[in-house]
Chains A and B, each alone.
Chain A
């Protein structure tokens, strides 16, 4: 929260340079706070009582701290199970993408083999295929494999991604060659070079890929809703949809659920913010 206060009246030096930024803050501060106010309200509502939330007009700030919503959510609903499922699914997807996409990116950027360019173009072109077009057959594929309603069905389609391959390919194209060459001369195998020399140096890019992948995997709703038929195998996002309608009056519990669903992704985002932003911006400039 390093927001510049209005310039003190008793500070004469360099007024021209200080006045402009502070005018920007006057616009930016309210706008940026407006973006997060709904989440602050969500947090507040999660600690209000049902009676307080069913009153009109509703209170803007919680009159007290009431944790009934959280207690009911964690003991009476399947939320803990959904949370565990989300952690398992997102964890498996992130691990697999970091390994597979960095391998592919390294190969596309650095190794020579036939069909390399065609394969890369095809992979990138698949981003134009909308998911709603592939979702019905993908469901049918997993149905035939008897994997519908398992966590495996949630993980398998996301083991690698075009975006991940693309990000890692552009990263490895700007990667210094000297290190690998030195290791090769010292008699290291291709795999040895990759795992012992390249990957450790590529850590910033791997973190960026992991953060992006986690955010997408954690937030996905469409596919879990399609692929999972019994609520015990839901992820948190799919679980949230069961709240709408069923517990319509139970807003403290619903808000507790949205808080606990949002917190992990916010933590990952805030910790990896710099890498996340660089990767987004870099993917576009590529």
Chain B
């Protein structure tokens, strides 16, 4: 991303130069500059307006809304910071935070390790790489709504196929998504299954960037697989690991679709996440003002988490 932006700057430098000097194809510079402006904005304007309009405008509106008791349809009265104060005493809010943290804490390390491990296995001229890559990406590409229904079926405690296999093996049947103490772990496992193919593809691209000479030199120096991994592979993919960790964090914070078709946050809020709670507050309970406050609290928290993650992760080299 930084490469993209810096290229932009250098391009502008050259344009300023050619604008001031005599134009290569002649013509008065001023008029050419005006038509350039018009052409540029007529190409870039529609997308820019749409993207900014559907993000900045609602973002400001949400802030205003979070200071009211709006019921979604009417404006509501201004209530100052009452919505934010109410968060402190809202057990469901804290439960949704705890669940989201549990999800993130399990998802990021496991999906990064699995992603890198499988990418390493695929990172040799290997027959059938297209087949393998497709297999790992299928759950990523299929919709979370369908996957939620499928998994609710597979993990059903009474007639699901997983309990069928478990009991055939002579073990006791489990509650899975119906058991408040298990549901969040089962959901996390399903989420990892659906998402980590993305990490495989991204890691694979990063591994293929490592120059072959570096690996050959290491081999000549007598480095075994573990030392090569530790001292060459891990440092080379560190920026990608950081990116995937931040990406995974965003995915976890927005975790919703799978819940909607599997547990709907239950049983007894054991799988409710922050986004699911925001959705419930605004569109089921019609407390849009409070919902907006929860969303803003989440946004502020996640920005802080991302900044800390970026600074800390880069400095300490913690992430893979």
Contact = CB atoms under 8 A, between A and B. Distances in A.
Nearest to A174: B7
A159 B47 CA distance: 8
A116 B56 CA distance: 18
A35 B147 CA distance: 12
Nearest to B247: A284
A123 B51 contact: yes
B161 A137 contact: no
Interface of A: 1-4, 20-21, 24-25, 27-28, 31-33, 35-36, 38-39, 41-42, 45, 53-58, 60, 100-101, 103-104, 106-108, 111-114, 116-117, 119-124, 126, 128-141, 143, 157, 159-162, 164-166, 169-170, 173, 185, 190, 194, 215, 218-219, 221-222, 225-226, 237-238, 240-241, 243-244, 251, 254-255, 257-258, 261-262, 265-266, 269-270, 273-274, 276-277, 280-281, 284-286
A225 B48 contact: no
Given A100-B50, A113-B41, A281-B202, 16 more contacts: A25-B127, A38-B193, A42-B150, A57-B164, A113-B36, A113-B44, A122-B52, A140-B61, A164-B47, A226-B279, A226-B283, A238-B145, A243-B149, A269-B138, A277-B137, A277-B201
Interface stretch (B178-186, B214-222, B297-305): B297-305
Contacts of B151: 38
A83 to B, nearest CB: 13
B226 interface: no
Nearest to B173: A56
A132 B254 contact: yes
A136 B73 CA distance: 11
B154 interface: yes
A208 to B, nearest CB: 13
Q: Which of A53, A56, A280 has the most CB of B within 10 A?
A: A56
**5 pairs of A and B residues whose beta carbons are closest in the complex:** A113-B40, A57-B164, A281-B205, A107-B43, A32-B135
B242 to A, nearest CB: 11
Interface residues of B, number: 113
B298 A218 contact: no
Contacts of B256: 132, 221-222
A111 B152 CA distance: 51
Nearest to A113: B40
A24 B47 contact: no
Contacts of B171: none
Interface string B117-160: 01001101111101111111111011111111111111000111
Contacts of A138: 54, 58
Contact of A137 (B4, B58, B306): B58
B205 A284 contact: yes
B88 interface: no
Contacts of B213: none
B141 to A, nearest CB: 4
A221 B279 CA distance: 12
B72 A139 contact: yes
Interface in B221-265: 240, 243, 250, 253-254, 256-257, 260-262, 264
22 contacts: A21-B125, A35-B136, A123-B51, A126-B56, A135-B282, A136-B58, A136-B72, A136-B278, A137-B57, A137-B292, A218-B143, A219-B143, A219-B257, A221-B144, A225-B279, A237-B146, A244-B261, A262-B143, A265-B142, A280-B201, A284-B205, A285-B205
Q: Which of A57, A215, A257 has the most CB of B within 10 A?
A: A57
A194 B197 CA distance: 36
Interface stretch (B8-16, B78-86, B105-113, B311-319): B8-16
A100 B137 contact: no
Contact of A108 (B44, B52, B243): B44
A35 to B, nearest CB: 5
A129 B283 CA distance: 20
A278 B142 CA distance: 19
A215 B36 contact: no
B46 interface: yes
